[in-house]
Amino acid sequence: MNYSFRPVTFDDFDFIFELKKQSFKCYVEKIWGWEDNDQKERLRKDLEENLEHKRIITLRGKDIGVYVAHITETGDLFINDISLLKEYQNKGIGTDILKKQLEENKNKGIRTILQVFKDNKAKQLYEKLGFKIYNETETHYQMEKV
């Protein structure tokens, strides 16, 4: 698939919120509870603080997802989020994005890290791509690819 990226702007708020709700509400709700206004406020704050790390994934001019990554204080690349609209999942887009990022990081000698909710099936994809669990919290596995 011939996807591309564009920077996130504050005009993308509604799209990102609906995508976040579609992708993460089922996990957040079970653990902490989900309240739309609270989640919108968290997203607003996140956009204000981290806008430069966020990219909208587009396909044929349509916004289909979001990819967020940044370099940590220790020099690792932390993948904060990779989410696709349901109709674009399981088509190889997320896998392709991750493979390209991993190859770039390998060439630079950078460790790639992420965290995933313990009951998120994306963990299987990360393992298939060579990620290993290096730590866990009550709710997440923290994974790395060296």
Question: What does the chain come to in residues?
Answer: 146
Across residues 53-72, what is the average pLDDT?
97
Provide DSSP, 40-82: HHHHHHHHHHHGGGEEEEEETTEEEEEEEEEE-TTSPEEEEEE
| Spatial separation of the C-alpha atoms in residues 134 and 132, rounded to whole Å | 6
Domains of the chain (ranges, CATH numbers): 3-145 (3.40.630.30)
Q: Are 102 and 120 in contact (CB under 8 A)?
A: no
Backbone angles phi, psi at 55, to 5 degrees: -130, 140
> Would you give the end-to-end CA distance of the chain in angstroms?
27
CB-CB neighbours of 11 under 10 Å: 7
- Asked if pLDDT for residue 146 goes beyond 90, the answer is no
* Residue 56's pLDDT band (cuts 50, 70, 90): very high
CB-CB neighbours of 108 under 10 Å: 9
Q: Are 131 and 120 in contact (CB under 8 A)?
A: no
Q: Say what percent of the chain tops pLDDT 70.
A: 99
What pairs with residue 5 in β-bridges?
A: 57
| Spatial separation of the C-alpha atoms in residues 92 and 114, rounded to whole Å | 19
Q: Please write the tens of the pLDDT for every residue from 29-49.
A: 988 999 999 999 999 999 999
Q: Say what percent of the chain tops pLDDT 90.
A: 92
